[in-house]
């Protein structure tokens, strides 16, 4: 699989960062976006100040409002926009790297399932793991998982996108990687709420450990590989999202824990939480932390009562 031309759909923070990573790996990159001012700035000044400040972008990146084909497509739009973005690309047949960490409202579908519906001829790959856009764009060391159905193809895509500071580990478990990436956002809300409510570092550490166990049960019940939980897409991403204020979901949870109005920015966990609850119910998996996050988001129960309910659950063996 020869990959020289890469198209990144979505000229926001994450899309621009991934375009930078692909360019650093030696690929020629077209960044597809809708904002003419952003596109013009990328082409002329090689910056995207709206999303990445004064971070200098590679001259291998050009910006365009239209997709005109590529050896590889990277989709970097919010999870709830995936279907519309794929539909707009028309009869897509290229290999597609899906990077959104979320589940579709209404259908409960994973990103690769949406791709299979809208563009059945496209070959899916899923990129996930502990990564913030500002770190990737700045060339700070970042390691992620790239999951695909066929080993040789997945390794070829990983090699094409790997650069001096961006390392991709190939895997087969598309389902598990997608689920871990989507559901960790829900647990990040919970971890942030614990911080916002000043419940202490011990409580947050305990929550992360129990979130890891709950997420593992869900991944396996929904068809994923349990080994995924011990890797970058599982433990790595869960830990990062549940401990860093760079995480939008964590910051949103902190505000909820303080009883404040969260800042107005995308927090995928807010949209994923009710979907996660329905998936858990359908799979017959007990998921008290996901239920607690939904109660908090619905605003009907205060966090102290939610925590009291969790702490009063029947005692069980850990394994």
Domain residue ranges of the chain, discontinuous segments joined by + = 5-172, 175-311
Whole-angstrom Cα distance, residue 128 to residue 176? 10
Q: Which residues are catalytically annotated? A: 184
31 three-state secondary structure = strand
- CATH number listed for the domain at residues 5-172: 3.40.50.720
Per-residue pLDDT of the chain (319 residues; tens, 9 = 90+): 689 999 999 999 999 999 999 999 999 999 999 999 999 999 999 999 999 999 999 999 999 999 999 999 999 999 999 999 999 998 899 999 999 999 998 999 999 999 999 999 999 999 999 999 999 999 999 999 999 999 999 999 999 999 999 999 999 999 999 999 999 999 999 999 999 999 999 999 999 999 999 999 999 999 999 999 999 999 999 999 999 999 999 999 999 999 887 776 678 999 999 999 999 999 999 999 999 999 999 987 888 888 878 787 787 887 7
Whole-angstrom Cα distance, residue 233 to residue 100? 13
Sign of CA dihedral 59, 65, 66, 67: positive
Whole-angstrom Cα distance, residue 15 to residue 93? 20
Give the HSE-up count for residue 75: Cα atoms under 13 Å, Cβ half-sphere: 30
- CATH number listed for the domain at residues 175-311: 1.10.1040.10
Whole-angstrom Cα distance, residue 194 to residue 48? 34
């Amino acid at each position: 699989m020869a990959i020289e031309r890469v198209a990144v759909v979505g000229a926001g923070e994450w899309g621009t960062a991934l375009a930078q990573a692909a360019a650093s790996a030696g690929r020629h990159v077209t960044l597809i976006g809708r904002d003419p001012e952003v596109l013009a700035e990328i082409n002329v000044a090689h910056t995207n100040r709206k999303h990445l400040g004064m971070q200098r972008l590679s001259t291998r990146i050009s910006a365009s409002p239209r997709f005109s084909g590529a050896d590889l497509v990277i989709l970097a739009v919010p999870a709830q926009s995936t279907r519309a973005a794929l539909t707009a690309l028309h009869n897509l047949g290229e290999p597609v790297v899906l990077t959104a960490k979320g589940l579709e409202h209404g259908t409960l579908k994973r990103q690769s399932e949406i791709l299979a519906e809208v563009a059945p001829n496209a070959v899916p790959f899923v990129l996930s793991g502990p990564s913030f856009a500002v770190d990737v764009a700045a060339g700070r060391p970042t390691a992620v998982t790239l999951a695909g159905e066929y080993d040789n193809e997945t390794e070829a895509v990983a090699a094409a996108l790997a650069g001096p500071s961006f390392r991709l580990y190939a895997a087969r478990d598309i389902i598990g990687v997608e689920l871990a990436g989507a559901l960790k956002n829900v647990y990040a809300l919970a971890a942030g709420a614990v911080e916002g409510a000043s419940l202490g570092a011990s409580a947050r550490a305990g929550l992360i450990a129990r979130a890891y166990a709950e997420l593992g049960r869900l991944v396996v019940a929904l068809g994923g590989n349990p080994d995924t939980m011990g890797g970058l897409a599982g433990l790595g991403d869960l830990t990062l999202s549940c401990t860093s204020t760079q995480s939008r979901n964590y910051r949103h949870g902190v505000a909820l824990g303080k009883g404040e109005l969260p800042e107005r920015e995308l927090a995928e966990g807010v949209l994923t939480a009710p979907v996660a609850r329905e998936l858990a119910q359908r799979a017959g998996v007990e998921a008290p932390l996901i239920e607690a996050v939904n109660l908090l988001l619905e605003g009907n129960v205060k966090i102290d009562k939610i925590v009291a309910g969790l702490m009063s659950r029947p005692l069980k063996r850990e394994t």
